[in-house]
Amino acid sequence: MCYNGAEEIAERQEVSEQMKVPFSSLLEEKKPFLGTFVQSGSPEFLEASAYAGFRYAAVDLEHTYYGVERTAEMIRAGEAADLCMLARVPCLDAAWIKKCLDFGASGIIVPNIDTAEQARQAVRLCRFAPEGLRGACPGVRANCYGKGGAEYYTRSNRQVAVIPLVETPEGVRNFPEIVATPDIAAVFLGPVDLSVAMGLGGDTTAPQVRQALLDMIGEANRAGVPVGALAVNPAFARELLDAGLNFLAYGIDTILMYQTCRQVIEQVLGE
């Protein structure tokens, strides 16, 4: 089939726009899906995880060494491999949230959400006026550098996923109010921080942590809000999914690389 110049450009632009995977599109499949957090800054890892079957990745700006420049490149790489690209920002901060969304992140995971008011503030920082407080610029990547026009602001308010991360005993106590926050796309549970905060040294399978996670999964299911969590071993992951978890972050890219290397040592050298 032949195209004139304008038709070919329009088709390429349409394909380019289809590369971005909204978080809502994964939820609409109505079946559990897996992803991971990325700290290494490796585009190759993102591509490999997508080819292996992961559906999303969250650039972990809370715990990694790099900043906004690398984040933009990671989002591009993940989108090119058909991953839904999220960003876990370091904190509930307008500047970090704005930059990640301007780069084209499909959603924001906001850590250390302990109250419903913090969850509401996270929503406001991810929404343009009149629904929120997000600063607007027409020339950013998320708006195709101006191609999206005025519709960009409405579309972004509708599509950007706001995901509060609950990971403290205070957040557990306030979970029913947090999960009732209007316009959140999902909630995410952080068992490692919760375990440390409980004085359990990061043991995510400790009975107190396990019960808190199961209680929150049940609460989210009853509220009709999708719920995700971190897991670092298959048995624990399956238990959470069986309890009603909708999506899972399996480990972190650095942990997955370490685990794979250890498996090679054990299987080849028996050590």
Active site residues: 63
Question: How far is the first Cα of the chain from the last one, in angstroms, to the nearest whole number?
Answer: 59
Of 158, 160, 165, 157, the closest CA to residue 227 belongs to 165
Between CA 35 and CA 159 the distance in angstroms is 19
Beta strands 161-166; 187-189: pairing state: parallel
Residues with Cβ within 8 Å of 265's Cβ and at least 6 positions away in sequence, in order, are 271
Q: Tokens representing 13?
A: 């632009």
Q: Which two tokens stand for residue 106?
A: 């499909």
